[in-house]
């Protein structure tokens, strides 16, 4: 990554804001992305982060300089996904989320309990090399079901990715549930059911799962961009497609400075800097089956992938550009 930063310094004359931030955090048409940070607001990049350019009140040299800065900034969103192998997402109903759903005191109890279980198991070395990520999903898995009994009993729908399995569990079940998840520790594969005595999950009905961060109490940008992006993604799906594709509104995923953020399972690709106008072509590209880094549009927004660390994400991105 040092080489990458030096390249940015050389091209821009300074370190862009996106790289100063702490770590960890096809259908034709226009993809209008109003660039933020160091790029002048008058510049509009089409097709994500800039193959065609429109400028107002700028000389050709200024427009070219702005384009170069935008290219660097968008390229820099690659390699911004922390390494993890399993993603636990819990439907928490319609109540507003606190800023940190996993907080020990102020968070959502079942999400907080799950995070504490994972942290305790990490300290004891019980999770091996498997890194878990935990979050919440707005609403209910089955919006048409009679939820009164399940809610009263404290039963929650828990999703596990990339295995795309649904479990029903209470807070008291989460210790055993996390242990059972170790049976699904290999990315990108649907493995056999857990051993006898462990909680078994049911495969999800859909094949493709689109996770959009809408966590406005955590970050205003996600709260502004995320819900509109999620609504537009859903609007792009025909009734038939909705049988195979589902859009979820999720709590903080990580990297809110890249909002709108989209995470696609089961492959586990992350995309950032999306706006509602991108929705139709984003959905079309994702469902085309094309490798994300071979798609001009998707690669411009690609942040990283489940099961791959940040340096490997940058390597994959650079290799894809060299092969084109």
Q: What is the DSSP string of 156-209?
A: EEEEEETTTEEEEE-GGGHHHHHHHHGGG-STT--PPPPPTTS---EE-S-SEE
* Backbone dihedral angles phi then psi of residue 37, each to the nearest 5 degrees: 60, -120
Express as a percent the part of the chain with pLDDT over 90. Answer: 54
At residue 147 the predicted structure's pLDDT band, cuts being 50, 70 and 90, is low
Confidence (pLDDT) at 324? 63
Is it the case that residue 11 has pLDDT exceeding 90? no
Question: What is the dihedral sign for C-alpha 92, 235, 79, 307?
Answer: positive
Residue with tokens 């079309």: 284
Is it the case that residue 146 has pLDDT exceeding 60? no
For 31-70, the DSSP string reads: --EE--TTS-TT-EEETTTTSEEE-SS--HHHHHHHHHHH
Q: Which tens digit of pLDDT belongs to each residue from 77-130?
A: 999 999 999 999 999 998 899 999 999 888 999 999 999 999 999 999 999 899
Is it the case that residue 71 has pLDDT exceeding 80? no
Residue 316: CB partners within 8 Å, gap ≥ 6?
Answer: 293, 305, 308
Provide the CA 130 distance to its chain's centre, in angstroms.
Answer: 19
At residue 256 the predicted structure's pLDDT band, cuts being 50, 70 and 90, is confident
| The model's pTM | 0.74
- Beta strand pairing call for 156-161 and 86-91: antiparallel
Q: Which tens digit of pLDDT belongs to each residue from 25-51?
A: 232 232 222 222 222 222 222 223 433
212: β partners: 249, 262
From residue 282, give the alpha-carbon distance in Å to each of 44, 49, 188, 201, 204: 18, 13, 21, 30, 22
At residue 150 the predicted structure's pLDDT band, cuts being 50, 70 and 90, is low
Higher pLDDT, 194 or 11: 194
At residue 266 the predicted structure's pLDDT band, cuts being 50, 70 and 90, is very high
For the chain, what is the radius of gyration of the CA atoms?
Answer: 20
Residue 13: CB partners within 8 Å, gap ≥ 6?
Answer: none
Could you tell me if 111 and 156 are in contact, meaning their C-beta atoms sit under 8 angstroms apart? no
């Amino acid at each position: 990554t040092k080489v990458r930063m030096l390249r940015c310094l050389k091209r821009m004359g300074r370190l862009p804001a996106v790289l100063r931030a702490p770590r960890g955090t096809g259908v034709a048409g226009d993809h209008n992305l109003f660039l933020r940070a160091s790029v002048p607001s008058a510049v509009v990049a089409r097709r994500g982060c800039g193959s065609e350019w429109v400028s107002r009140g700028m000389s050709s040299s200024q427009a070219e300089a702005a384009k170069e800065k935008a290219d660097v900034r968008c390229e820099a969103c690659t390699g911004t996904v922390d390494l993890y192998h399993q993603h636990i997402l819990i439907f928490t109903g319609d109540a507003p989320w606190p800023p940190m759903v996993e907080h020990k005191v102020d968070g959502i109890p079942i999400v907080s309990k799950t995070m504490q279980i994972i942290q305790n198991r990490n300290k004891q070395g019980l999770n091996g090399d498997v890194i878990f990520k935990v979050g919440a999903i707005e609403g209910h898995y089955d919006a048409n079901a009679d939820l009164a009994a399940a809610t009263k009993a404290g039963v929650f729908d828990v999703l596990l990715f990339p295995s795309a399995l649904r479990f029903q569990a209470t807070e008291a079940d989460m210790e055993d549930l996390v242990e059972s998840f170790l049976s699904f520790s290999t990315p990108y594969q649907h493995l056999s059911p857990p051993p006898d005595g462990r909680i078994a999950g049911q495969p999800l009905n859909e094949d493709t799962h689109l996770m959009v961060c809408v966590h406005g109490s955590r970050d205003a940008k996600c709260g502004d961009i995320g819900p509109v992006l999620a609504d537009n993604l859903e609007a792009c799906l025909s009734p038939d497609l909705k049988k195979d594709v589902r859009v979820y509104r999720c709590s903080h995923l990580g990297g809110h400075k890249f909002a709108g953020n989209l995470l696609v399972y089961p492959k586990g690709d992350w995309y950032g800097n999306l706006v509602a106008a991108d929705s139709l072509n984003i959905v079309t590209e994702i469902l085309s089956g094309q490798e994300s880094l071979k798609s001009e549009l998707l690669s411009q927004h690609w942040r990283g992938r489940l099961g791959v660390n940040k340096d490997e994400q940058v390597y994959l991105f650079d290799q894809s550009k060299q092969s084109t």
